[in-house]
Amino acid sequence: MEFASYLAGERWSDHPSCTHPLLAGLARLVNDHTSDAARPRLAELIPSVIGLTGDDSRLDARIALCSARAALPVVAHERQLAMAVSVLSAEHVLAELEGRPAGDLDERSRQALAQVPDATRWAYTFGRGVRVSPKGFRRYAAPNTVQLAVRGIAQACVPDPDPLLRDLLADTIDDCWSLLRPAAGTATESAEPAPAAVDPARWADACRLTGLSA
């Protein structure tokens, strides 16, 4: 995120205004939990977060939902329970914001939940009669979900969590861009700079410092 602030011409900061706060938080967590050897691959995603921000309340729910779905199949059982609840809560909030029927789930959420049937049954039971407001979800549940998801993936019993963490960040960036600019395609496939201006000289410097090809 510090490189993103540099490329965007902002004051050097890991909380740049050019990126949605929760997405920036996810990026910082992924960076912190990625090994030194794998961290340079994250730099390829830097341009795609520049300009990715806005006041659409769905962004927070989308970021939390992507995080929970990615973590759900691999985290420890006690975290699976929390991630299953997060998936259902995020879907509930999105359905309310988009005027869809309650209980209407995205196919990706259905697939993720199907992989952990016990946790899913528990989450449905836990959530009965509980109303999640978009405001409350945005303020409390979404950032907590992101933190639990990244830490859960990093500590999961998998051979190498680094690719899972990178895929989580890349997929979340793409999902956010699809919400903000549905016709623009995905931002991370080619790692092209987002619509916000990126100084070519600054990007060349970033590539040199991180070992990427400009």
Residues 112-127 pLDDT 10s: 999 999 999 999 998 8
| Low-confidence residues in the chain, pLDDT < 70 | 129, 183-204, 206-214
Those residues whose C-beta lies under 8 Å from the C-beta of residue 46, and which sit 6 or more positions away, are: 3, 4, 7, 206
What sign does the CA torsion over 113, 117, 122, 125 have?
A: positive
CA dist., res. 70 & res. 49, Å (int) = 19
Contact of 76 with 94, CB cutoff 8 Å: no
How many domains, the chain?
Answer: 1
CA dist., res. 165 & res. 170, Å (int) = 9
Domain extent, residue 7, equals: 2-210
Q: So what's the pLDDT on residue 195?
A: 44
Q: So what's the pLDDT on residue 6?
A: 87
- Both tokens of 208, joined, read 């040199």
Q: So what's the pLDDT on residue 63?
A: 98
